[in-house]
Every structure is written in structure tokens, then in C-alpha cells.
Structure 1
Amino acid sequence: MTAFFNFQSLVVVILLTICTATYAHHYFPGLMDRNRDNYFVGVLWKCARIGERLSPYVAIACVVMAAVGYIG
């Protein structure tokens, strides 16, 4: 079963994408900012913005999902 059919897995994939894009944007800001109109890099650029601006909420969501995965 893919992550798109399971809500918990979908949330984990989205959180991992946000965290990875934020990390990559920290080390390669010019690459992502220059190509933000491109479809794939544009989605990563938007995820990086979410990770930068809402980092406390993303961190809390990561901790909650880790706890749910540990318990469940």
C-alpha cells in the first residue's frame, strides 16, 4: 500500500518533504530561489518556505508523528 492511501504515512511523507526542502534550501539557497518557477523545484521551494516560517509547528508535528509511530 502506498503512502497516499494511508493518512498517517501521507503526513509523514509531507513532513519529511518539508524538512528535507528546508535543509536543502539552507545549503543551496541560490539554486532553489533561481528555479522557483520550475514545477518540481517550485514545490520544494514552497515546502522550504513552510519549513522556515512555521518551523515550531513543523517540529511539533514531527514529534507527534514520531510518538504516534512509536506507540502504534
Structure 2
Amino acid sequence: MSALFHFQSLLLVILLLICTCTYIRGQFPSIIDRNKTGVLGLFWKAARVGERLSPYVSLCCIVMAVRYMLYA
């Protein structure tokens, strides 16, 4: 089953995208910051969400990790 059709997997993919974009922007800000518009602007927006909502994103990461450990 594809991650796009399973809601829990879709949430995990979005959460991993946010975390990855935030990490890349922290290490190499010029890569993310030069693409603020267009299709690649999605990565810039995901990095901004990760920066501004980092306590909530980290809490969601912990919840998803525990959920996968219990149901795996």
C-alpha cells in the first residue's frame, strides 16, 4: 500500500519532510532559502514550519515513534 493512501503513513511522510527540511536549512541555509517560490518553495515552507513549531513537531515525532514501536 502506498503512503499516499494510508493516512498514518502520509502523516509520517509529512513529518519526516518537515524534520529533514529544517535540518538541511540549519546546516546549509542557502540551499533552502534561494527557493522561496514555486514548487521548491514547499521545502522552504516545511523548514519554516519546523522552525516555528519545533516543540509540537518534536512531540509528534515522539508520538509517532512510540506508536510504531507498539504496533510494529
Runs of 4+ in 1 over 2 A off after TM superposition: none
The structure with more helix, counted as a fraction of residues? 1
Asked if 1:63 is matched to 2:33, the reply is no
Q: What RMSD, in angstroms, separates the aligned Cα atoms of the two structures? A: 0.9
Where relative contact order (Cα < 8 A, 6+ residues apart) is larger, the structure is 1
Q: How does 1:32-43 map to 2 (within 5 A)?
A: 32-40=32-40, 42-43=41-42
Q: How many residues align?
A: 71
Partner letter of residue 30 of structure 1?
Answer: S
TM-score, structure 1 normalization = 0.92
Q: Which consecutive residues of structure 1, in runs of 5 or more, have no partner in the other structure?
A: none
> Identity percentage over the alignment?
54
